[in-house]
Every structure is written in C-alpha cells, then in structure tokens.
Amino acid sequence: MGKKVYVEAANTLPVYDVCDILVVGGGAAGHSAAIAAARAGAKDIILMERYGYMGGDVTGGYVIMVPDLSWYEKSFVRGLQEEWFTRLKNIPGSVMAPTLDEIGSEDPALLHRWAPFIDCVSRGTYCAKGPNGEEIRRDTKRLVRAVFFEPNQLKIEMDKMLFEHRDAIRVLYHSWGTKPIMEGNEVKGVIFESKEGRKAILAKTVIDATGDGDLYCQTGAPFASLADGQCRSSTTAVVWRIGGIDWELFAEWRRLHPDQDQAMRARMIQIAGFRIGAIPSNANDICWMNNWHPNRDCTKIKDLTETEINTRITIREVLNYMKEACPLAFRNAYLYDIAPQLGTRCSRRLKGEYIITANDFAFASQFEDTIAWHSTICQINDCGPVEIPYRAILPQKIENLLAPGRHLSSDDVAIDWLNLIPQCVGTGQAAGVAAAVAAMDGTNVRNVDIKKVQDILIDQDVPLPRNPRVDPSYMECVEEHMYGLYTDLAKKARAEADGLKTFRQW
Ligand SMILES: Cc1cc2nc3c(=O)[nH]c(=O)nc-3n(C[C@H](O)[C@H](O)[C@H](O)COP(=O)(O)OP(=O)(O)OC[C@H]3O[C@@H](n4cnc5c(N)ncnc54)[C@H](O)[C@@H]3O)c2cc1C
C-alpha cells in the first residue's frame, strides 16, 4: 500500500514516568509478568495495556478454556495459572473443571461425566515401565484438568490481583506502546500513545508482552514472521457466544448421530466461509463459537478488518442453521455476545537465544535454564511435560528485553503447542521473576542468576524438573510413564514429528 512518505519532524517527548520494569501488554503473559515481579520483590513496575482491561485474548477474545494442565495424576501447570482458578472457584458459576483430586482417574463414571467437555478426557494411550523395564501400553482414558471459565469474572479477578500489588505495580490502561527507546543495542524504555499524546517511559528492563512482538520487531532482534500457513497459528478469529442452549444434550446428540454431526459441522463452514465450531463453556446453556480465518496476519490492518467483518456478517446465518440442524439443543438459542477484541494466535515469533522445535517435545529436551515444565496439547509426546528454557524468551543481540507469551522463540510447528494460555502465563511469570531478580541484583536480564530465578519460581508454586526442592513425585511420574520417550517410541515420535505439521486444531 502507498509509496508516498511523510517525513515526521524530530520532536522532544515528555517522560511520563521512570521505572525498573516496564511490561507492555496485559494479556496472560504480561499480567503474569507484572504480578510475579511484584511477588518476587520488585517495587517499581509499570504495566501498560492498550485496552481497558487485562487478559488480552483470554478475557477480551473470549478464549475461555485452558487445556492439559495435568498429566496422569500430576498437576504440572501450576503457579499463577492455577491461581486464576483457585480464586475463581469461590465465585459461583465462574469455573467448571475436573478437580485436582480427580485428575488421572480412570473411573468410568467420572470419564462419562466429563466426556462432553473437550480435553477433560485424555486422547492418548497409557504407557508405563513394567517390573523388568519393559513397556506396558494399553488403550485407556484418564481425566485431565482442563478448565472452562467466565471471561468477565476473570477480568475482575485480574484487576483484583493488580490492586493487591498496588504498592509495586502502576497500571496504565488505554496506553499503546509504539516504539522502543534504544541506545545502541540496549533498550532504555518505550514511547507510547494515549489520549494524553505521545510520551516516553524509561525503564531498566522492558518486557514485550504484546503477543505480536510490537516492540522487539523494532529493536534489531532477529524474529520470524507469520507462522506456517498450514498451522492453526496463522489463523485469526472473532469469537462469539450463544446462549439458551443445552450443551450436554448437544454432546449426546453428537455421540448418537455422528453422521448428522459431521454434516452439520461441514455446513457451518460452508455458510461462514471459514472454519467454525462450537466449544462448551463453564455454563451448560452457553457455548462459544471458535473460528479460524486461514492465512491471516494479525499485524495487517486489512486482515484484521476483514476478520472482524467476515465473522460478524455470517453470525446470524450460522446461528439460524444451528437451530434448524439440532433443535434438541439449539431450539431456544440466541446470540449471547461477541468478543470485544479480535482473537490472534500468532504473528511475529522471536528468534531468541534458543528456538524451541517439535523435537524438543518428541524427545523431552532437558535444559539448565528451564523456567516452565508444562504438560501441553502436543500429542507427539502424549501431552507429556515439555521444558521451556529461559533463552526462548531472551532475544539475541538486544539487552534489557524479554519476550514471553505467544510470540516467544519457537519454530513454526512448535508454536502451535506453545502459544496456549498456560504457556503464556508460565513464560510471563518467569519473565517477571527474572526482571525482578535483575533489578534487585543490579544486573541485566541476560546475566541474571538463573538459579535464583528458578528458586523463586518454585516458591511461586511452579514445579521444575531435576530440582531437589520440588516434590519428587513429579520426576517419578514422568519416569514411570516413559518421559522423554527413551525407548522405541522415540523413533516413531521422530517420524511423526518430521512428517506432521499439526495434530490438533484449536
Ligand atoms: C480464537 C482463539 C482460540 C484459542 N483457543 C485456545 C484455547 O482453547 N486454550 C488456550 O489455552 N489457548 C487458546 N488460544 C491461544 C491463547 O488464547 C493465546 O495465545 C494467549 O491467550 C496469548 O496470550 P499473550 O498474553 O501472549 O497475548 P495476548 O492475549 O494477545 O495479549 C497481548 C496483550 O497486549 C496488548 N497489546 C498488544 N499490543 C500492544 C501495544 N503495542 N501496546 C500496549 N498493549 C498492547 C493486547 O491488548 C493484549 O492485552 C486461542 C487463541 C485464539 C485467538
């Protein structure tokens, strides 16, 4: 578009504020970074967000379920991610999920209870070492912790969390970070736009949690652009919700009428012109309509605009068709609401000091600088725990900058398993702790004492591998269930990793 240029005159900007840690973007990653930094002892934090609420894709994009928080009987994804739900469970009607006591259960009654809810029941096989070290494999299902939640309640809770740390965190809503302030290869702050005009904030560490690398892309740090066109990560969405339904009846109808279900799914896609599907929520009378507009880049105005319009103009027709195709569940259905913000899965990806690949999942790579050890949606390792190293949020060449969240450093396959909410929370939490340790020790985030960071993360309820301070039953669990696929399974996994691009669609 447009070859003409306008030369903007050089300008002096007022410095709005100065801080130790500036977090730009208040999504799952940015909010977690600010909270974790405060809890690690940092006292001088600014959290800047372009909209008027926290949560990004989660609360504004209505992405209202998190999958695979557990593996077998262990709850791997903990820390701030589990805290969201511990807090929300006290608010009636806010969360629905198998409890921590139930995970790993093979009880048929429980499996039946949770079968209508995507990802509450495992898809993989059971795998364990026998008494002589032999592999035991059998087809079985077990209960997994996936949580469905109410986005507006989470919005409130995220503000409450910030309010609890108001002595340490200054929140700036309606402020859009536009440009890093650089001195050579060092980030010194950020220029932002707001109703007050263009101003600067100076900071010792900047955490780019914009999800789209809005800041790191201007620093000279290497990064990749859009995810592979065949991955779900290169799709955009505008989620909308339907009220007045009966989800459990719908799930039962699907189970009893698989052909009609297939036909219904296909027709909905035909009507919309892009892939669209219903997903349960925390309430039986509400579902959310996930959608995938292919080959869209959420950093392009045209793609953003077309995603908004193309979704909204098809909503009524899709909904009318659903009422007609399955009156049992949708007879009284109505448009409940439309997410206030467009859903973005991936755009820019950092090429950081380490790039996570599919092989790291298949072979359970082990790192000295692991900051999160998460069960994930990845099926090449049966959703088993993968290690995320600190270097995956640390840019090459550039100082004083971290990049947690969905724009972290990974290849175009692994990003599909890493940009989920738990991994954004987990990497955000670690970024916050690292920035806090750097500020307190008078060093920068590249040279931070990673052992100290890991110790604080463990204190913040984040289990990490091979650490004597972590409950040994975590390591026992992964070893018992063939963690790392050390066996012949490894060969199969490698073949799959080489041959497959994507395994599950979200
Ligand atoms: C439709 C859809 C369905 C999905 N399904 C699931 C699912 O079922 N389960 C799951 O776990 N994950 C799912 N995901 C992925 C997951 O929701 C996201 O990857 C994750 O929430 C991203 O978190 P984040 O903090 O990295 O980025 P974001 O949520 O994008 O947060 C970035 C924040 O920064 C703000 N911001 C951006 N730029 C600027 C700027 N320049 N200045 C100031 N603020 C800025 C934004 O407003 C936002 O609040 C889905 C994603 C989509 C879109």
Question: In this structure, is residue 386 part of a structural domain?
Answer: no
Residue 187 lies in a domain: no
pLDDT digits (tens, 9 = 90+) for 78-128: 999 999 999 999 999 999 999 999 999 999 999 999 999 999 999 766 777
Mean confidence (pLDDT) of the chain: 93
Q: For residues 469 and 447, give the distance between their C-alpha atoms in angstroms, rounded to a whole number.
A: 23
Question: Binning pLDDT at 50, 70 and 90, where does residue 140 land?
Answer: confident
User: Does residue 16 form part of some domain?
Assistant: no
- Separation of CA 424 and ligand 1 centre (Å): 8
CATH assignment of the domain containing 278? 3.30.70
End position of a domain, from candidates 282, 315, 344:
344
Residue 30 CA, closest ligand 1 atom number: 25
Residue owning tokens 């039986």: 284
Question: Could you give the angle at the alpha carbon of 172 between the alpha carbons of 171 and 176, nearest 5°?
Answer: 140
Cβ-contact 374, 423 below 8 angstroms: yes
Residue 73, pLDDT > 90, answer: yes
Q: Which of 344, 361, 394 is the last residue of a domain?
A: 344
Q: How many CB atoms lie within 10 A of CB 347?
A: 27
Which of 147, 179, 212 is the last residue in one of the domains?
147
Band the pLDDT of 486: cuts 50, 70, 90.
very low
Q: Could you identify the atom of ligand 1 that is nearest to the CA of residue 236?
A: 53
CA distances in angstroms from 236 to 29, 88, 140, 157, 403, listed in the order given: 19, 28, 34, 27, 21
Count of structural domains, the chain: 2
CA of 52 to the centre of ligand 1 (A): 15
Pocket perturbation via mutation, ligand 1, pick of 46, 53, 63 by most ligand atoms within 8 A of CB? 63
Q: Which residue has the higher pLDDT, 19 or 133?
A: 19
Interval between CA 69 and ligand 1 midpoint (Å): 18
- Cβ of 59 less than 6 Å from ligand 1: no
Residue range of the domain that includes 263: 236-344
Measure 39 CA to ligand 1 centroid, in angstroms. Answer: 23
Residue 172 lies in a domain: no
Euclidean distance between CA atoms 367 and 389, whole angstroms: 6
Q: Is 374 in the pocket of ligand 1 (CB under 6 A)?
A: no
In this structure, the residue with its CA closest to atom 51 of ligand 1 is: 345
0.85 cut: is pTM over it?
Answer: yes
In a domain, 283, yes or no: yes
Would residue 333 count as lying in a domain?
yes
Residue 25 lies inside a defined structural domain of this protein: no
Q: pLDDT tier at 138 (50, 70, 90 boundaries)?
A: confident
Q: Give the β-pairing of 169-172 and 45-48.
A: parallel
Q: Containing H/E element for 41? A: none
Ligand 1 binding pocket includes 432 (Cβ within 6 Å):
no
Residue 382 maps to a domain: no
Residue 115: partners with Cβ closer than 8 Å, 6 or more residues away? 121, 251, 255
